[in-house]
Amino acid sequence: MDEFKKLVELADSPEIKLSQDFKNLLHTHLVLGQTRHVCRHGTLSEGHDKITPAQRYYQAMKEMYYLSGAIQDFKAAGMEAQADLLDAEGELKYLLADEENRTADILRAEAKLLRAQRAIVDNLVSVEDRMRMVDEYNKVRLELKDYVESKYPEGIEQAEMDNWTAVHKWKALRQKATGTIERVTNICLPPEVKALEGIKMGKLDSAAALLAANDVGHLVTTAEVVDKVLELTDKSEHGRLTDENKKSTQKRLDANK
């Protein structure tokens, strides 16, 4: 058996035909992207610093936007594949009508036809796979919409202080529970707010940026750090944002005396 015949035989084997039929099991047994479970409990979870309903809500919208762009790209690719298919069908019909045409030309036309057919199927499956993800993200969005829109009518910027405060608290709690050091340098909070949250949660390294910015590097005890943070935040432009934090922090400190 020559190489070409062997190639065709392997490509047409029952196992390959069975594998191609797996597309009929899309969403139940065949998943190319994320399952609904992963969309909801993976991408929109603490594993990606999505702690609050607002974070999950806005991230669901972002995921839907990205997926919609990809689906439009697959649509365009499918349109090109359909055009190729029409061209290949016309070319093959012409070649088969004349017995004098070369076998090589017919093979090339059949190859073009096969590629176009496969491209259409692949693009369709890719779109259907992503539509499942779009649908699940949209379900999450609708579940959270009323709560988030009523609490933050101005949108994501209004929610960000609460969002990142929740992420900081989550990291502090993880550090307490596991004993591993959780970095807070990437927590997007003003230094004053981060410092107050840090002493509130017993994570004093959260005050490092505030203390360094004010050229304070000689503090030794926890009490000295706490007192300095409270002193600096009283003078801060963010003080009005953190009055409640200050009260709860002082109450916690008094209880520990």
Q: How far apart are CA 85 and CA 74, in angstroms?
A: 16
Q: In the chain, which ranges are E strands?
A: none
Of the residues 101, 124, 151, which one is the last residue of a structural domain?
151
For the segment 135-170, what is each residue's pLDDT rounded down to a tens digit? Answer: 999 999 999 999 999 999 999 999 999 999 999 999
Q: Is the residue at 19 inside a domain?
A: no
- Strand-pair partners of 26: 30
* 143 and 187, same domain (yes or no): no
11 within a domain of the structure (yes/no): no
Domain that holds residue 94: 31-151
Give the mean model confidence (pLDDT) for residues 175-180. Answer: 90
Looking at 151, 185, 207, the residue that finishes a domain is 151
The span from the CA of 123 to the CA of 120, in Å, is 5
On whether the CB atoms of residues 200 and 242 are closer than 8 A, the answer is no
What SS3 class is residue 100? coil
Same-domain check for residues 146 and 175: no
Domain membership of residue 213 (yes or no) is yes
Start-to-end CA span in the chain (Å): 89
Comparing 251 with 37, the larger pLDDT belongs to 37
25 inside domain:
no
> Domain boundary at 124, 151, 178, which?
151
3 versus 42: which is more confidently predicted?
A: 42
Same domain, 123 and 218: no
pLDDT interval class at 249 (50, 70, 90): low
